[in-house]
Amino acid sequence: MLELLFLLLPVAAAYGWYMGRRSAQQTKQDEANRLSRDYVAGVNFLLSNQQDKAVDLFLDMLKEDTGTVEAHLTLGNLFRSRGEVDRAIRIHQTLMESASLTYEQRLLAVQQLGRDYMAAGLYDRAEDMFNQLTDETEFRVGALQQLLQIYQLTSDWQKAIEVAERLVKLGKDKQRIEIAHFYCELALQQMGNDDMDRAMALRRLFLSRA
């Protein structure tokens, strides 16, 4: 119980800051108060182990007021950190599909949804999310690193090589050693497929990079 309370502190702070700013800038005090009450109700659902009711309430709040996007991102991350990946996916997927998000907010939702899929072992879906971020300057390196992890986990060595080479071009020189290893793995894979010519060509590439 104490662990959950501490995990909720960042979310509470985000909501508190937003509601305070909203009250200072707008005259819609009743609406702000209602959203605050809804948030407290959601927290109570969490504390009484009614997580699905809490998620439903928080998502309803998001539909009414997108100013709570950052808090919802945080809440989804907290669910993922607790191993409740299905709930994290629900929150981040709803965020990503919201038409009222800014471009930056949508990218953040895509990033976190990709991490949710990774945690759930849904690597094909995670790959799709991170591929959407590889052309975005602020997200590129992190997305490529996540893709590299996916390709290692799925033994897709050709794609691992391609991603690692992109990371090297972005200044991640430590990937050079990994590239040599990936060529070795790919050669062994081709040997298992009885493609000896391809395996020998890859072996030469491995030696040239070792």
Domain ranges of the chain: 1-120, 135-210
What is the pLDDT confidence band of residue 31, given thresholds at 50, 70 and 90? very low
Q: Are 110 and 129 in contact (CB under 8 A)?
A: yes
pLDDT of residue 98: 81
* Cα–Cα separations (whole angstroms), residue 64 to 3, 32, 56, 73: 30, 11, 13, 16
pLDDT of residue 67: 61
pLDDT of residue 193: 63
- Fold match flag (1-120 vs 135-210): yes
pTM listed for this prediction: 0.72
Percent of the chain exceeding pLDDT 70 equals: 59
What is the pLDDT confidence band of residue 32, given thresholds at 50, 70 and 90? very low
pLDDT digits (tens, 9 = 90+) for 127-145: 999 999 999 999 999 999 9
Q: Could you tell me which of 71, 110, 107, 64 has the C-alpha nearest to residue 79? A: 71
pLDDT digits (tens, 9 = 90+) for 131-183: 999 999 999 999 999 999 999 999 999 999 999 999 999 999 888 889 988 98
The CA dihedral of 141, 122, 54, 18, to the nearest 10 degrees, is: 10
pLDDT digits (tens, 9 = 90+) for 78-95: 889 889 899 899 889 988
pLDDT of residue 84: 87
Q: Is 100 helix (H, G, I), strand (E, B) or coil?
A: coil
pLDDT at 198 exceeding the cut of 50: yes
Domain range 1-120, CATH class? mainly alpha
What is the pLDDT confidence band of residue 96, given thresholds at 50, 70 and 90? confident
pLDDT digits (tens, 9 = 90+) for 39-77: 556 556 555 566 666 666 666 665 655 566 777 788 888
pLDDT of residue 163: 97
CA angle 168–146–179, rounded 5-degree value: 35
What is the CATH code of the structural domain delimited by 135-210?
1.25.40
